[in-house]
Amino acid sequence: MKEYNVAIVGATGIVGKEIIAILERRDFPVRDLRLLAAEQSVGMELPYKGEELVVQQLTETSFEGIDISLFSSGATVSQKFAPYAVKAGAVVIDTTSAFRMEPNVPLIVPEVNPHTLASHKGMIASPSCMTIQLVVVLRPIHTAARIKRIVVSTYQAVSEVGQEAIDELDRQVRSIFNHRDVVCQVYPHQIAFNCLPQIDTVLDNGYTQAEMDIVNETRKILGDENMKITATAVWVPVFYGHSASVNLETEKKITPEEVQFLLDEVPGVKVVDDPEKNVYPLAVEAVGEDETLVGRIREDGSLENGINLWIVTDNLRKGAALNAVQIAEVLIWGGE
């Protein structure tokens, strides 16, 4: 079996560490694994297959001899260094927002649109974590009944921001229980025991960047620029696991039973739907799982052709690291 030289940019971040673990768990054919990060992380050691690999400083020359580069260190870093990786001959798989809407960069979820991967010119984008969990569920429904309109309300875990947000939620909870003042450094308001209806910057149209990312990325991946989509994105005091309430209007009538039958056959999707027994997708049960969980599948009686869904996934796993590694697998194996 051919082996590949792989670089991970942002290796010391929570997504970078998850990528390392998934490469090992899925036995990706790595010849040499190069861990790259900012200067302050140089010299750190991270475990991989029983060894401790030393983190190296990310520079313009870090990609010589690299076949595949997985970027997870923020859009600014990707915009600066990804072109150097491509120039050195590496294929870049970028998990940040840097290139997602570039027309010549394929935006890939392997279960949904692997056929578009062939158009890459050295640069491949992985969607936002919320978009990933939506499209793996929506694709089979769209194929069967043609989705006309999507209304999405998201409930997003703080780990999407990074370790600093996890720490802030932890500190705030402890402060409240110990009757101390709550300090807000990462979020503009208290996140503990609260919901913040703003993720990312507010745009001129009144929507946030995260909400428009859901709209634009979903259209690009599903290949339907005319699909009507609206979103409200909310931070919730959950450490790991994104949840979403999704309302669909379809051209063709489709029943909840038909939706469940379709989704039961989809790789990477697990139907968890028996509400009479208190069984439905939960963020705490999605953590550590590769599958996207879907439940509360029911008809929307206010529409002629309406369906409601509740979708949950581990935002660090399938929402970021796993999707990137799966893209690499399709790249080298053609999805076999």
CA distance 86 to 222: 27
242 flagged as catalytic: yes
With both helix axes pointing from N to C terminus, report the angle between 256-264 and 129-145 in degrees, rounded to the nearest 10: 120
Burial class (CB in 10 A: 0-12, 13-18, 19+), 239: middle
189 flagged as catalytic: no
C-alpha distances in Å from residue 130, one per residue of 45, 60, 234: 31, 31, 11
CA 134, 136, 139, 141 torsion: positive or negative?
Answer: negative
Contact (CB, 8 A) for 292 and 315: no
CA distance 33 to 327: 17
CA distance 224 to 57: 41
DSSP percent split of the chain into helix, strand, coil, nearest 5: 35, 25, 40
Catalytic residue among 120, 184, 195, 242: 242
Question: What SS3 class is residue 177?
Answer: helix
Contact (CB, 8 A) for 105 and 120: yes
Using alpha carbons only, how large is the chain's radius of gyration in Å? 20
Residue 94: other Cβ atoms inside 10 A: 27
Catalytic residue among 115, 120, 129, 189: 129
Residues with active-site annotation: 129, 242
